[in-house]
C-alpha cells in the first residue's frame, strides 16, 4: 500500500511537472538566454569539452533540440522526480516540518530553473550519480577516491570549479579533526583560508585573483543590465590581497547567509529565496555538526557527504555573480542537499 508521504511526494511531482510545462510559455527572456544558445548553437561550439559544448551536444544527440520547450519540461522534470523517488521518500515527508518545507520548495522551483534546455539538467543528473556512489556497497575509502576523481573529471570537462571540491573536502575533513567544540566552524574557516591562499597564489602567477577575474569582472560587464540588481559585489576593491580576501568572505556569506538580500524587500521573490537559502544553510550546518560528533570513522560517507556539500558552498562564495545564480546552481546539486537533509530518515526506512 502506498504511504501518505509517497502520495505527497507524487502530488509535488505532478504540480512541479505541470508548472514547468506552463512556465515555458511565460518565463522572462533572461531565463531563456541559455536555452536559446543550447538549442540553436549560434557559435557552432558543439563538442565534448566545456559546459556549453557538451550540453549542446547532449540536446542534439537525443533530438531534444527539435522539441517544443513544454515537452522538454515534461521529459526533464519527470526524469528528475523519478530519480528522487528512487533515492527515497522519507517517513513523515508529508508533515509540516522546517526541513520538509525547505525540500518541498526546492523541488517545486525546479520548474523554474530546469523547465527549458539547461546546463543544470546535466549537472543534476551527475549529482544523482554522486549520491548513488555515496550510498553504494564498496568500501568507504574506495568510494571517497572515486567521488574525488569524478568531481575532478567533471570539473575538467564541464564546470572547472568542481575540480576544487575534492581538495576543499579534505581541508574540511582535517578542520573537523582539530580538538574543539566548534568543529564545523573550524571546517569552514580552514576551507575559506585555503581558498584565499589558492586565489592569492593564482593572482601571483596570473596577475589577477580568482574572484577578481571571474565574479567581479563579469559583474562589471553586466552592471547596467535590468537583471543585475542582485549582483554580489565586494564592498572592497578585490585588486589587492586584502580586498580579495574580504571579497571571498563576503561572497561566501552572500550566497549562504544572504542577509544583505533583505534590502530587496520590494521584490517578494528575492526575499523568498533569501529565507530559503538562510534556513537551508542553518539546517545543513546543524546536521553537519551532529554527524561529525556522533558518526565514527575517518572515511564515514555520511560525514563526507557534508564535507563535499560544504566545499561546494565555499566554491559558490568564490564564483557566484549574483543571488539568482547561486539559487540556480544550488538546484543543480539538489540531490546531494536532499540526501544530506534526509540521511537519517532514509537510512532508517
DSSP assignment string, 118-139: -HHHHHHHHHHHHHHHHTSSS-
The string of pLDDT tens digits covering residues 226-241 is: 556 778 888 888 889 9
N-to-C CA span, the chain: 15
Indicate if 179 and 284 belong to the same structural domain: yes
The string of pLDDT tens digits covering residues 31-44 is: 898 999 999 999 99
DSSP, collapsed to helix, strand or coil, labels residue 310 as: helix
**Per-residue pLDDT for 78 more than 90?**
yes
What's the confidence (pLDDT) of residue 225? 65
Indicate if 182 and 284 belong to the same structural domain: yes
Indicate if 177 and 309 belong to the same structural domain: yes
Indicate if 295 and 186 belong to the same structural domain: yes
| Domain stops at, among 84, 117, 150 | 117
Domain count within the chain: 2
* Of 233, 256, 209, 230, nearest in space to 324 by CA: 230
Percent of the chain with pLDDT over 90: 73
Indicate if 225 and 317 belong to the same structural domain: yes
The string of pLDDT tens digits covering residues 191-244 is: 999 999 999 999 999 888 888 778 877 777 766 665 567 788 888 888 899 999
Rg (CA), the chain: 20
What's the confidence (pLDDT) of residue 270? 85
How far is it, in rounded angstroms, from Cα 343 to Cα 291? 10
Q: Which residue range forms the structural domain that includes residue 24?
A: 1-117
CB atoms within 10 A of CB 343: 21
Indicate if 36 and 142 belong to the same structural domain: no
How far is it, in rounded angstroms, from Cα 52 to Cα 57? 8
What's the confidence (pLDDT) of residue 268? 84
Indicate if 51 and 174 belong to the same structural domain: no
Indicate if 315 and 236 belong to the same structural domain: yes
Indicate if 192 and 318 belong to the same structural domain: yes
Average pLDDT over residues 334-347: 92
Indicate if 203 and 235 belong to the same structural domain: yes
How far is it, in rounded angstroms, from Cα 171 to Cα 191? 6
| Domain stops at, among 87, 117, 147 | 117
Indicate if 107 and 152 belong to the same structural domain: no
| Domain stops at, among 55, 88, 117 | 117
**Within its chain, how far is the Cα of 187 from the centroid?**
19
CA atoms within 13 A on the CB side of 13: 19
123 vs 28, which has greater pLDDT? Answer: 123
Indicate if 41 and 64 belong to the same structural domain: yes
How far is it, in rounded angstroms, from Cα 338 to Cα 103? 7
Amino acid at each position: 500500500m502506498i504511504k501518505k508521504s509517497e502520495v505527497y511526494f507524487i502530488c509535488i511531482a505532478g504540480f512541479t511537472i505541470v508548472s514547468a510545462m506552463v512556465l515555458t510559455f511565460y518565463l522572462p527572456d533572461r531565463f531563456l538566454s541559455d536555452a536559446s544558445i543550447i538549442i540553436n548553437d549560434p557559435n557552432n561550439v558543439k563538442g565534448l569539452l566545456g559546459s556549453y559544448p557538451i550540453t549542446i551536444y547532449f540536446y542534439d544527440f537525443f533530438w531534444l533540440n527539435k522539441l517544443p520547450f513544454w515537452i522538454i519540461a515534461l521529459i526533464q522534470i519527470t526524469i528528475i522526480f523519478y530519480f528522487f523517488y528512487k533515492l527515497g521518500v522519507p517517513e513523515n515527508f508529508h508533515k509540516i516540518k522546517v526541513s520538509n518545507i525547505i525540500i518541498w520548495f526546492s523541488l517545486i522551483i525546479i520548474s523554474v530553473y530546469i523547465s527549458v534546455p539547461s546546463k543544470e539538467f546535466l549537472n543534476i543528473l551527475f549529482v544523482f550519480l554522486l549520491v548513488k556512489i555515496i550510498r553504494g556497497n564498496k568500501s568507504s575509502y574506495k568510494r571517497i577516491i572515486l567521488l574525488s576523481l569524478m568531481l575532478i573529471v567533471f570539473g575538467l570537462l564541464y564546470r572547472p570549479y568542481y575540480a576544487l571540491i575534492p581538495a576543499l573536502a579534505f581541508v574540511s575533513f582535517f578542520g573537523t579533526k582539530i580538538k574543539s567544540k566548534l568543529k564545523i566552524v573550524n571546517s569552514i574557516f580552514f576551507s575559506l583560508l585555503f581558498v584565499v591562499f589558492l586565489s592569492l597564489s593564482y593572482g601571483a602567477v596570473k596577475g589577477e585573483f580568482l574572484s577578481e577575474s571571474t565574479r567581479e569582472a563579469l559583474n562589471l560587464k553586466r552592471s547596467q543590465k535590468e537583471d543585475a540588481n542582485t549582483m554580489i559585489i565586494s564592498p572592497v576593491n578585490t585588486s589587492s590581497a586584502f580586498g580579495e580576501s574580504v571579497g571571498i568572505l563576503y561572497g561566501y556569506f552572500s550566497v549562504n547567509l544572504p542577509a544583505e538580500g533583505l534590502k530587496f524587500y520590494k521584490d517578494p521573490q528575492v526575499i523568498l529565496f533569501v529565507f530559503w537559502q538562510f534556513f537551508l544553510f542553518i539546517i545543513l550546518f546543524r546536521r553537519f555538526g551532529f554527524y561529525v560528533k556522533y558518526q565514527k570513522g575517518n572515511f564515514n560517507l555520511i560525514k563526507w557527504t557534508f564535507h563535499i556539500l560544504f566545499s561546494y558552498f565555499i566554491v559558490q562564495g568564490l564564483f557566484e555573480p549574483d543571488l539568482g545564480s547561486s539559487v540556480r546552481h544550488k538546484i543543480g546539486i539538489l540531490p546531494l542537499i536532499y540526501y544530506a537533509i534526509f540521511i537519517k530518515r532514509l537510512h532508517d526506512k
